Amino acid sequence: MKTTLKISLAAVFAVASCWSTAQHVSSMRGSEVPATDKAPIEQPYLGSKPGAQKLIARTFQEQPPLIPHKVDGFDDINATDNTCLDCHINEVFRGQKVPRAGASHFLPTSTAAKPEFDMKRWQCNSCHVPQVDAKPLVENVFKGNVAQ
Ligand code: HEC
Ligand code: HEC
């Protein structure tokens, strides 16, 4: 009795494994799974130079706000230079109003007169991202929820 059960189970597994290898595996990147990655199509960032854009509505609490302007020319952040901060460390840059980086980005000892930025937030673009007009890869039914 036991042997018959083992044999039939083995048969079921054999059929199942043949069936699964026969399925065509297609990847979202559009090429065969073992193929080398194609270079992604380069998309231009939306928006123009800072100062002309509306802010993008946030869709969840504690969301790092999305960057509404182009970042060409100042997204090259290195150990000593950070052009984002030229503008975002204050509320005004060259007479223009700028959204100042949140209080969470400054050290507790920081004052308005002598702002001390928290180096944990130095790499702005690990959290804040510029936008491109790209179609979602999969259907997305996410609805924001900040009205709390
Ligand atoms: C020349 C000044 C300037 C520079 C440089 C700059 N920004 Fe901005 N940024 C602005 C202004 C002004 C706005 C308000 C929107 C607008 O008018 O385009 C803004 C908006 C933003 C916002 C949206 C804030 C919110 O509350 O929704 C984020 C995030 C942001 N910038 C991040 C960055 C990052 C990251 C960099 C560097 C890659 C950068 N900015 C460089 C001036 C600047
Ligand atoms: C570790 C993630 C992280 C990094 C790195 C970071 N931010 Fe933010 N940022 C956030 C989050 C989250 C918020 C929204 C909540 C808050 O203000 O803390 C925010 C808010 C902001 C705002 C809007 C402030 C407001 O009061 O509405 C600006 C402007 C901004 N960041 C600019 C910057 C700039 C410029 C840098 C780099 C010098 C930077 N951030 C680095 C996560 C980050």
Give residue-wise pLDDT tens across range 117-139.
Answer: 999 999 999 999 999 998 888 89
Residue 3 has a pLDDT of 66
Residue 5 has a pLDDT of 62
Q: Residue length, the chain?
A: 148
Ligand 1 mutation pick, 58, 69, 77, max ligand atoms within 8 A of CB? 69
Residue 25 has a pLDDT of 72
Minimal-distance CA residue to ligand 1 atom 6: 84
Minimal-distance CA residue to ligand 1 atom 32: 67
Cβ of 69 less than 6 Å from ligand 2:
no
Can you tell me which residue has the tokens 């194609």?
Answer: 38
The number of the ligand nearest the C-alpha atom of 52 reads: 1
In 3D space, the residue among 143, 146, 122 whose CA is nearest the CA of residue 61 turns out to be 146
CA distance 77 to 82: 5
Minimal-distance CA residue to ligand 2 atom 10: 64
Cβ of 89 less than 6 Å from ligand 2:
no
Residue 79 has a pLDDT of 92
Residue 85 has a pLDDT of 94
Cβ 71 vs Cβ 45: under 8 Å: yes
Cβ 88 vs Cβ 101: under 8 Å: yes
Residue 26 has a pLDDT of 73
Cβ of 75 less than 6 Å from ligand 1:
yes
Residue stretches of the chain with pLDDT short of 50: 148
Cβ 66 vs Cβ 129: under 8 Å: yes
Structure tokens at 15: 């059929």
Residue 14 has a pLDDT of 60
Minimal-distance CA residue to ligand 2 atom 26: 102
Residue 93: exposure state from Cβ atoms within 10 A (0-12, 13-18, ≥19)? middle
Cβ 57 vs Cβ 35: under 8 Å: no
Residue 21 has a pLDDT of 55
Q: Which atom of ligand 2 is nearest to the CA of 104?
A: 18
In 3D space, the residue among 55, 34, 40 whose CA is nearest the CA of residue 131 turns out to be 55
The number of the ligand nearest the C-alpha atom of 123 reads: 2
